[in-house]
Structure formats: structure tokens, C-alpha cells
Structure 1
Amino acid sequence: MLNCRAIPLASVGEISPLFGLLTLVLVGVVLVSLVLQRFRQSLLVGYFLCGVLLANSGLLDWVGADSSDLDRLADLGVILLLFTLGLEFSFKEIKHLRRVALLGGGIQVGLVGIVAGGACVFFGFPFPVAIALAVAIALSSTAVSIKAFHDLGMADSPAARVALGVAIFQDILVIFFMIILPPLLGQGDGEMAAGIAVAVLKGILFLSACWFLSRHGIPQILHAVARTRSRELFTVTVVGLCAAVAFGAIQLNLSAALGAFAAGLVVSESIYSHRVLADILPFRDLFLTIFFVSIGLLIDLGEVASSWALISSATLMILLIKFGAGFLAAKRLGVGLRPCLLAAGALASTGEFSLVLFERVADFGVFNAWPEVEQILLVSTAIGMGLVPGLMRFAERMAPVLEGHRWFAGKADPPFELTSEGEREVLSGHVIVCGYGPVGRVLQQALAKCNIGALILELNADTVHEMMGKGVLGIFADARQPESLEMAGVERARGIAFTFPDVDAAIAGMRLARQRNPEILVYARAKFTEEADRLREEGADHVFHDEQESGQALIKSVLQSYVEEHVLDDFS
């Protein structure tokens, strides 16, 4: 009689448990996300659901894996998230939105923190644990809210700027809290107060050392690597830099996440920041996806079913408290009813950094005595993030109704820093010039004389330094990367000009540009007839054939000594 018992794939010896688990995760993420896209839900929620399905379907046993196999990869996601946060950390933006960040962020985080912390103390949590959970609950999902504002066509609205200012405050708070969390939860050296003081001192010294490296050492290394024009070496250097600084933080008994953030800061003010961001984003997205799936793997549907009343109550209370705090913060900033409601909806849920702090708190064994609390917080976060887009759409519909009843008297005009005029200059209707060689230089100069905005994409580090010295607006980036074109504002651009006769690069960049902006005008160069035909077939609006243009110029130059001016028009 044959034995038909199911055999785990990993037992065959040909498939490792990690490989099998990764396969299930990636395929599951795609399938679940496609379904959620049809319902206009956040993809982050799909990542949670994928983890929940894998953890409760028996598929992990089939591949011989468990959730711990994903932990190291998930940690990489957190590190890369903090690294990109440091890269995108703009001191100019902080200066511009400082009132919004300090006042709005302080009110939102303060109110939520007081209520959440008080509730934790009331339910018997030790005071340090209550502080940690209160901070985690006060944080909001930047990724979900920004996506929702884009979907509503309000990316530059006062409500979006309120949410951005509060997010800046929350980001700074997360970094500081990462430093003091170990001693706060009793894992530092000595008493808690002394441990926090030592941790803060270590953090200051560490960030000071990183600042020194950002002026002496790191730029020189990146410049030497950039001059090799090797994309692979540049990417390896960036990842190595992030890992090295994070490792240094660990050696000082600081978190790897703080080190990754500091590594991002080191590069953020250099000319290489845009190229680094474009190279690192795909890695971050991949490993961050794995992080969210790993959180979903921790959710036990049996525990959820038995605690559904607590989970529903906790989710509702978090949404109501955070919505109210966000509304009061926006109102204090002087915006009208509609922006107040939208900003409050955007800030109503807990977010991705909440999950990071929950996991850090769990690492210290805090949830061992309250395992059901971890389940409640994780599920509430997933549900809340999924409800944010719908909550914002509901808030937008309710605004006219409330305004009609005159229940809210707001200022007619928002503060200057919350308007498009108050924001730093943003290019629109401009031309993206790819390459700053002889042709690119002449084109940029001509556009400048005609007061037409232009932004240069250039891969030669020495040329970018020269551009910066002349005050020419440009970034060190590759036009064949979608992230580079997004940074160049391709969605708002009128045209894109490929000033180098590299047809393959021009076609790759043109396809990406048309995906983001189907109406953009494309200008391209070609050396030979065959290349010019390829560009026209791909849809380039204007193709400049070097051989043909040179031939016509030569004909005119020779014939103008022999024939009258009007005859030369026949050779154009």
C-alpha cells in the first residue's frame, strides 16, 4: 500500500525553507495586491493580509519554514526605510514648515500621547511601557496618507501640507525615541534616568561623527566611485555605506535603525542624494514588503476571533482619538473646515513606524505578559491603515454639509506656509534636459534666456559639480530610472530632451516618461538613419538626425557662395 502522506518540500533536500517561504510571500503579495487594487485599497494592507493568510493556512509547514526565517530580511526593510528617511530629510523643508511641524505635530502627538498613555497606565501597564506604547500609537502612516492625497488630486493642498508637517515632527520623534527606548524599558546600563542620559550622549556623539564624515570622507569616496560610471559599483557602495554606519551604531549599543538614518543624513546634502535614492528605493520597497508580511505572520486568527470585540473597540478608539487630535492641530494652524477634516482623516490611523516600535517593544519581552495586546495593536494598525483612504473621502463629502450648517467658523485663507505660494519653488511646465554636454549646455542656456524652466539630469559627477557652481539646476541621476524622472518632476514637465545620441538610453527614458506623462513632448538625437527611424517608431515628437542636420548645414554653407538666398530653401 502506498504511503500518500504529504511531505514538506524542504525535506526533499533541494529547496531551502527560506527560498520556499520567499516564493510564497512574493507570489502571495502580487495576488492579494491585485485584488485590493480593484477596491482602491492601500497595498500595505495587502502585505498584512498576505502574512495573515500564510501564517494561518498551513503553507508554512508545507515549505518547512516558520516566521523567524523572515526576521533578518524584515530587519533589512526597517534599516532601508530609515536610510531613505534620512536621505529625504530636508532641512529646507523643515525650515519652511517649522511652525506646522512644531505646533501642529506637537499638538497632535501630545494629545494622542496623553490619552493613550493614560489609558495604558489605567489598564495596568508600567509607566515606561505606557510611554513607549503611547508614542507608537501617536504615529501615523505617511505612506498611506500621501498616496490618498495623490489619488484625490490634493498633493499640494493645505491639508496635505498639514499632514506633511506633522509627519516631519513624528519622524524626528521616532529617531529620538529609538535612542532612548532600550534604557527606557530597562535594558540599558544602570538606572533608567542615567541610562537615558548616556544613550542621548552616545547618540549626539554618533551623529556628530556622521556629520564629520559627511564633510570629510564619504563625499570623496562617492565621487571616486561615481567617476567610474559603474552603476553596479555605485549601488554596492551605497548599500555598503548604509550597512557600515548601521554597524557602527550597533557597536555603540545604539539601534541599527538610528545608524541607517544617520547614513542617509550623511548623503542627503551631497549631489549624489538623488542618485542614491533612485538606486536604493527598489531594495527598500522589496524588503519593506517583507517586513509588513512578517508582521502579518505574527497575527493569529484564533486569537483575533476570540478578541474581536477588543480589537474593534481599540481600532475605533484609536481612529476617533487621533482624528480629533489631528482636527484640533489643523484648526490651531488656522486652516478651513475642509482641510481640517482631510488632515485629521489622513492622520487618524497608526502607521508603519508604529509597527517598527511595536516590534522593538516586543524584542524587549514587554508583550510576554500581555500577548493579546500585541495582537490587538497589530490588527488595529492594519485595519486603521486600510480605512484611511475611505475616511478621507468621507471627510471630503461631509465638509460642505458641516459648512452649510455653520458648525465651524474657520479662516478664509490658510497660513502662507500652507499655500502653493509659500512653498519653495516647484518647477512646472519645464523641460527635462538629459545630459549636459555641448548640446545640453546650449539648450539650457537658450531656455534660461527665454525664462523657460529647465532641470538637468547628468551622470558625470565632475559636470554636476560644475553645474552647481554655476547655479544651474540639476541632479546627479540616470534618466533611465523611474525614480530619477519622478524627482525631476516628469508629471509636471512640458518636454524632455535627450541631448546625447544614445538611442537605447533615449528610448528607455522616453518610455518611462510617457508612462508618467503621456502628453510630454520628446526630443531626441540620432547619429544614423536607422536610429532616427527607431526613435520615430517609438513615438519621439522631434528627432534630430546628426548626419542629416550636418549634411544640410554643409550644403547651405557651400552653396551660399554660388546661388541666391531663396534657392537654399529647397535644400532645407
Structure 2
Amino acid sequence: MEIILISAAFIAGFVALKCNLPPLVGFLLAGFGLKAAGFSSNDTIITLADLGVTLLLFTIGLKLDLKTLLSKEIWAGATIHNVLSTALFSAALLCLKILGVGSLSAMSVDQIVLLGFALSFSSTVFAVKSLQEKGELNATYGTIAIGILVMQDIFAVIFLTASTGKLPEWYAVVIFALPFMRPLFYKLLDWVGHGEMLVLFGIFFALVVGAGLFELVGMKADLGALILGMLLAGHKKASELSKSLFNLKELFLVCFFLNIGLSEQPTLAGFALALIFMLMLPLKGILYFLVLNSFKFRVRTSLLSSLSLFNYSEFGLIVGGLAFKMGWMSGDILVALAIAVSISFILAAPINRQGHALYQRSGRWLKEHAAEKLNVRDQLINPGHAQILILGMGRIGTGAYDELRQRYGKISLGIEVREEAAHIHKAHGRNVISGDATDPDFWERILDTGKVKLVLLAMPHHQGNQIALEQLHLRNYQGQIAAIAEYPDQLDTLLEHGVDAAFNIYSEAGSGFARHVCEQLSPSFEKP
């Protein structure tokens, strides 16, 4: 059976990839196909799926700044949307109940409101996967979307705890000691090095210290993984730890999407009700846009955040599953909810892929806020007298900045998508500002780039560098462009699209090391 499941997942994922769809769409369809062929989920798939979600939330925590959650656009935006969308969905469902539509006609008002609450959630797994594939997890709109999703996860945990009537154990107070143990956690992270022990450290803290401890005291295990990740987020190796767990997490999440398709047998009644839910989905997207736009974000930020959240959620399924067990929701409704979640993923995947194109079309008629009233994250940028722009101030961008400053003086400006990282660079005396170089409006927000003679594309994701390159060409930039890439085919693509120089980060690291040795040691050798 395992061979069939793996084969079906690979083939379906590969076909989806070749159709310019995220592989997760293929995994979902593979699950539905296998279910129709008589297969069903099993304990192994469910366990691996749960591990994938736990590791996902842990890695989200590693990248999450607590200040982000405490910003009013996150906690207030998530709360306002959750309340309004629950009310809106409930009102629509009540109208359908009055009309006698399917299983809805037999539901009470309380059950209708509960279903509306389940439909108000958006998928953390889908949004993070989509943002990671585009290399925009740290973009302004990406951090807003993730912050809202984390708040929704907290709402779901509160509901699940209250609904079961089971309070955490009295010894759950030990949870409050975790922040005081952070120095010890940091020391352990320093001591484990960079190899397999780093991966094992991540798994241990996500599954044992986080999920295991919270489950032991009667709280939601996934919340524990998220909180442990947040406690480690300030460590200098947090990014390295997240990357070390990436492939393992991705593999487990294949089982998550397979499991959704394998969980319930679709029925005609379920499909009909799921289609009704899908017709209501645009209400959620519009509401997200209106709420975010009210916080004075640019149209692009509000729109792309809304598109990332334009789906139904696996947490909605968890809420629905609990309601089914408690006798508050019929099996038909739960099946319809599962189908709607799956269809929303399939629909949202290509929409998110085309998010930038959709903005360029719709941005012409969506009203923008006045420049002086924009949210502080979206205000105009003054590059000053910079002659070099470095897009991406990670390790490579930072190294390039320091080398160029040593050679030519203070003529460079670094662009870093993470606001906190930009502040750290400023504290070290570098001329760095926070901005998203993949954002078409970013280039319009720069007051004057006439003095810029060289642009370095040093972002970690190839797609992000490609998008920035396209924006430079669209604005008729006449200076020189250099870029980095991980693979030879990416180098070829960059050169074909007009980059003046492209460098493989691995081969250049080797030659840079050799140059550094020669400069520092000045070795003398005999000619062969």
C-alpha cells in the first residue's frame, strides 16, 4: 500500500508542477483519487501529517517576531475579521437554512454560528507553503498574513479548550517558566553545532519540549511547538535551524495533503454543499482586503495578504471534527467542509501564483491612500546619494556591502525585507533600509534612482531575484546588474533575462576563500 501511495503522490505532484501548479494540488487530487479507488488513510499517514504540521508551526515560530503579533494591524485585524466573517457566514447560512437547503435546514442557530466560525479560518499550511515557494515569507504582506494566521490558531485553541470543557492540568503553570529557560535553550543551540545534531535539536524541541509538554499539561500540542519556536527566534542560529528542518517538514506535509483527500468519501450532497461554501469564499477575501486596507496599507499589501488567506482551513476541519464528535454537526456537513477546504486549496494555488499579475490589473481601479497617510511600513523611500543598491542583506549581501564599502567608500544602500534585520544593520553602521524588492510599488516608492549605477540581486530565493530583475527592466533601469544563484540553470536564466553578471554562490565561495588565503597568508610556492 505504501508503494502505491508514494507513487501516486509523486506522479500527481509532478504533473501539477509541470502544469505550473504547486505540487500540493497534485497531492490533494492524489488523495481523492486513491479514496475513490478504495484506499483510506491509516495511522502512519495521520502520524506523519501531524508531525508535518507540528514542524511547520515550530519553523513559523522561529521566524516570528513577537512585536509583529502585538501590532494593532495583526491582533486587531485578526479579531475584527474573525468576528465579522463569522457573522457574515452565519447570516448567509441562516438564509439558506430558511430556504431549506440540504442539511442546513436541520441545523439550529447555534450550530449555524459554529459552522460560520469554522469557515472563518484560513489555512496556515497552505499560506506558508505558498509564500515559501515565492520566497516572500518575510515580505510585508507575508508577515501580515502569517501574523493573522497565528492569531487565528490561538482563537482555535481557545475554542477547542472551551468546547471540550477540559481545563489544562493544574501543573500547566510550568509553561510560564519556559521564557525564563530561554538562556539555557540558547546555550544548547550553541553547543549542538551545525550537523545532524542541529536537526535533532529542532525535532526534540518541536515534538518533545514544545508539543509533548503542552499535551502533557492538557493543552494543544501544536501551540506548544509554535511557542517554543518563538522562544528560539531571537537566536543567531534560528534561520539555520529552520533551513535544516525544511526538507523534513516538506516531506511530512505531503502526508498532510494526502490525508485530507483520503479522509472522507465525497458524496453528491457533500459536493453540492461544498460548492455553496465556495460561492461564499469571495466574501472572506473581500473582508480581508477591507480590514487590512483600513489600517492604511497600500493596495498591493492588502490585496496580496488577502490572496494568501483566500482559502478555507485545516483548523476549520479540526473545529468541525470536534463539533461532529460532540453531536453538534452532522457527518454530511463535515464531509462538505473537507471538500470545500480541498477545493479552496486547488482554486487558491494558481490565484496566488498570479498574485502580482492580478495586482497590476486591479491596482489601476482600486483606490490608493495618500502617501502621507500610509502605514509606516509602506511609506516613501529616499535612497540619498547611493550609487550601488544591494537587494537582500543576508550573509552574502552583507559581505558584498562590507567589501564594496572598503573599496569605494559609503556609496551603497542595502535593502532588507525584514524590518528588525534592517535595524540591526543600521546599528552596525551600514546604510540599510527595510523594503520588499519584489514589490512593484517598492520601486515607485523610491524617490530617485538616477544616481544608481550598479544593482546586486543577493536575495536567497531565485524567484525573488527574478521578480526584482523584471521590475528593474520595467522601469527602464540603464545601469549594471549582478545576481547570485544556487544552480547552473538559474545562472543561465538570469543571463538570458539581461543580467550583466551572474555568480554561483558555491563556486564563488571557493574562489573567494582562495583569494582570502592568498591575501592574508601571502604563501610562496615553487613552480612545477
TM-score, with structure 1 as normaliser? 0.64
Q: Partners of 2:14 and 2:505 in 1: how far apart?
A: 36
Equivalence for 1:411 = 369
Map 1:306-325 to 2 at 5 A: 306-317=269-280, 319-325=281-287
Q: Does 2:205 match 1:241?
A: yes
Q: Partners of 1:403 and 1:434 in 2: how far apart?
A: 36
Q: Given that residues 431 and 495 in structure 1 are in contact (C-alpha distance below 8 angstroms), is that contact kept between their aligned partners in structure 2?
A: no
Q: Partners of 1:441 and 1:329 in 2: how far apart?
A: 39
Q: Please state how far the C-alpha of 1:40 moved relative to its aligned partner.
A: 3.1
- TM-aligned CA distance change 1:432 to 1:380, over 3 Å: closer
Among residues 54, 74, 93, which one is paired with 2:34 in the alignment? 54
- TM-aligned CA distance change 1:187 to 1:276, over 3 Å: same
Q: Partners of 1:28 and 1:211 in 2: how far apart?
A: 44
> Per-residue CA shift, 1:148-181, capped at 9, x if unaligned?
7899x99599xx8457425412312313431441
- TM-aligned CA distance change 1:264 to 1:400, over 3 Å: closer
Unaligned runs of 5+ in 2: 98-103, 383-388, 416-424, 432-458, 470-480
Q: Partners of 1:42 and 1:442 in 2: how far apart?
A: 38
Equivalence for 1:108 = 81
Equivalence for 1:89 = 64
Q: Does 2:176 match 1:208?
A: yes
Q: Please state how far the C-alpha of 1:73 moved relative to its aligned partner.
A: 1.4
- Partner amino acid, structure 2, of 1:175: I
Q: Partners of 2:171 and 2:23 in 1: how far apart?
A: 37
Q: Partners of 2:12 and 2:150 in 1: how far apart?
A: 29
Q: Does 2:342 match 1:382?
A: yes
Q: Please state how far the C-alpha of 1:268 moved relative to its aligned partner.
A: 1.0
Q: Please state how far the C-alpha of 1:108 moved relative to its aligned partner.
A: 2.3
SS in 1 for 2:390: coil
Q: Partners of 1:68 and 1:110 in 2: how far apart?
A: 35
- TM-aligned CA distance change 1:335 to 1:351, over 3 Å: same
Q: Given that residues 156 and 420 in structure 1 are in contact (C-alpha distance below 8 angstroms), is that contact kept between their aligned partners in structure 2?
A: no
Q: Please state how far the C-alpha of 1:432 moved relative to its aligned partner.
A: 6.2
SS in 2 for 1:311: helix
Q: Given that residues 32 and 50 in structure 1 are in contact (C-alpha distance below 8 angstroms), is that contact kept between their aligned partners in structure 2?
A: yes
Q: Partners of 1:435 and 1:334 in 2: how far apart?
A: 31
- TM-aligned CA distance change 1:441 to 1:323, over 3 Å: closer
Among residues 175, 185, 191, which one is paired with 2:163 in the alignment? 185
Q: Partners of 1:289 and 1:322 in 2: how far apart?
A: 27
> Per-residue CA shift, 1:360-411, capped at 9, x if unaligned?
x26x71479611111111111111222225556599669868967xxx7553
Q: Please state how far the C-alpha of 1:119 moved relative to its aligned partner.
A: 5.9
Q: Partners of 2:390 and 2:251 in 1: how far apart?
A: 31
- TM-aligned CA distance change 1:146 to 1:177, over 3 Å: closer
Among residues 311, 315, 328, which one is paired with 1:349 in the alignment? 311
Equivalence for 2:232 = 267
Q: Given that residues 128 and 137 in structure 2 are in contact (C-alpha distance below 8 angstroms), is that contact kept between their aligned partners in structure 1?
A: no
Map 1:64-463 to 2 at 5 A: 66-94=41-69, 98-117=71-90, 123=104, 133-141=115-123, 161=140, 164-182=143-161, 184-188=162-166, 195=167, 205=173, 207-215=175-183, 217-226=184-193, 229=194, 231-245=195-209, 246-301=211-266, 303=267, 305-317=268-280, 319-334=281-296, 343-358=305-320, 361=322, 365-366=325-326, 370-388=330-348, 410-413=368-371, 415-419=374-378, 421=380, 428-429=390-391, 443=403, 446=406, 449-452=409-412
Q: Partners of 1:134 and 1:173 in 2: how far apart?
A: 14
Q: Given that residues 522 and 541 in structure 1 are in contact (C-alpha distance below 8 angstroms), is that contact kept between their aligned partners in structure 2?
A: no
- TM-aligned CA distance change 1:76 to 1:343, over 3 Å: closer
SS in 1 for 2:243: helix
- Partner amino acid, structure 2, of 1:185: S
Q: Partners of 2:43 and 2:337 in 1: how far apart?
A: 20
- TM-aligned CA distance change 1:258 to 1:339, over 3 Å: closer
Q: Given that residues 52 and 252 in structure 2 are in contact (C-alpha distance below 8 angstroms), is that contact kept between their aligned partners in structure 1?
A: yes
Query: Percent identity at matched positions?
Result: 19
- TM-aligned CA distance change 1:39 to 1:177, over 3 Å: same
Q: Given that residues 86 and 119 in structure 2 are in contact (C-alpha distance below 8 angstroms), is that contact kept between their aligned partners in structure 1?
A: yes
CA RMSD of aligned residues (A): 5.1
Q: Given that residues 41 and 259 in structure 2 are in contact (C-alpha distance below 8 angstroms), is that contact kept between their aligned partners in structure 1?
A: no
SS in 2 for 1:140: coil
Q: Please state how far the C-alpha of 1:314 moved relative to its aligned partner.
A: 1.8
Q: Given that residues 179 and 258 in structure 1 are in contact (C-alpha distance below 8 angstroms), is that contact kept between their aligned partners in structure 2?
A: no
- TM-aligned CA distance change 1:99 to 1:42, over 3 Å: same
- TM-aligned CA distance change 1:47 to 1:373, over 3 Å: same
Q: Partners of 2:10 and 2:408 in 1: how far apart?
A: 45
SS in 2 for 1:185: helix
Q: Partners of 1:236 and 1:51 in 2: how far apart?
A: 30
Equivalence for 1:30 = 10
Equivalence for 1:570 = none
Q: Please state how far the C-alpha of 1:444 moved relative to its aligned partner.
A: 8.4
* Number of aligned residues: 459
